[in-house]
Chains A and B, each alone.
Chain A
Amino acid sequence: MITDACVFANQDQAATVRRLLLTGKSCGLSRMVICGTAPDIPDSYAGVEVLRGRVVGKQNGKTFLDTMKKIPKGVVVMVYVGENSFNRTAITTKGVHLLTGIADLPKGGFDHIVAKMAADHTTGVVIDLSRIIDAKGRRTALLRYAEILLLHRKFRFPLVIASGADTIFGIRNVEETLALCSLFGMTRAETYAALNGLDAVLSPPRPVRIVEDA
């Protein structure tokens, strides 16, 4: 399922949620994660499935855990990365699905140990296209994403692609996503895997259990 892992929809913005979903449909998406305070979010529209998302900002340990407890089930939780120790806490916390804000990562914020932990806990890392589209932080973003890609190839933690759009002009179609991801060395196959990567995060593979003896 081709997914946009983060679209912001707020109450006072120009486009309604349905309009964002319709644009997503025209861009070839089949699922979108909607974050924000917009009222009346449908479960699906124009054939695009909707998942609710929540971005948790940088916080200290106790506040972060309290915030996590308040989040209802069925919500895709994205945690804004910070220092190395916070990232480790975030990965090991139950209910955290994705790490976002990789482009703003402090030096040494995401090393090989955190990468291995992310792979073990099936925590995904978000590639935010809005940081590549924005000319201001493009160089840093491309560098960071290239580093993440190296770690992903070694440790195989899930990668997920998000547009980070808050208007209809921020959503990109699949072909553009492929081209933008090729800027930091992502292959076509890797990009498709990342576009479909949310499934692996939400329902990670588990060992086979015997539920009933024959």
Chain B
Amino acid sequence: MRPLPPTLRENRRYILVKIAGEFTAPLTQKEIYFTISEAVTSLFGDVGSAAVHVAVVWSEDEHAIVRCSRGSEQKVIASLGVITKILGAPAVFHSVAVSGTIHGVKKHLHPTTWDDEVIAGYRCSGKKVDSLTGSNTHRYLTRDDIIKE
């Protein structure tokens, strides 16, 4: 099919997503897309997900930009909210910002959040930290917890 002229194209919205989880390897755009698409379909069905028209247009490290049709941002954010796993590992997709352009949404990439002060429990300043439980599972601590221990 030939591409539509600009006046006939649907309006889009871009959502910046921050992904946190226990996955070891960096996530690919395809993996992120499949996870989001599955969540949208499970929540709104095939017809709903077709109307939402979701796509992942960019991803880097723990951030991704999700594209959807204008007016369905809330549906996509709700779908992001019900994601609990990616590739079998616990994960969470936090929506950070919504904009009409990719450039606009990328402006929200850099502000640091409180979470940046957090360190995985098994590593702090390059040194291994023994968890209280003694098992090799992930523990989520703050600097204050490590100093206390």
Contacts and interface: CB of A to CB of B under 8 A. Distances in A.
B115 A26 contact: yes
Max chain A Cβ within 10 angstroms of own Cβ: one of B75, B81, B139:
B81
Given A19-B142, A22-B142, A173-B95, A179 B81 contact: yes
B90 A167 contact: yes
B141 A19 contact: yes
Interface stretch (A9-17, A60-68, A202-210): A9-17
B21 to A, nearest CB: 7
Interface string A16-32: 10110011011100000
A129 B139 CA distance: 24
A183 interface: yes
Interface of B: prevailing SS: mixed
B77 interface: yes
Given A46-B114, A133-B82, A135-B42, A18 B144 contact: yes
A119 interface: no
Interface of A: prevailing SS: helix
B133 interface: yes
B114 A22 contact: yes
Interface in B94-149: 94-95, 113-115, 117-118, 133, 137-142, 144-145
Nearest to B146: A16
Given A23-B115, A183-B78, A173 B94 contact: yes
B81 A133 contact: yes
A27 B94 contact: yes
Contacts of B133: 12
Contact of B82 (A132, A169, A177): A132
Interface of B: 20-21, 42-43, 74-75, 77-78, 80-82, 84, 90-92, 94-95, 113-115, 117-118, 133, 137-142, 144-145
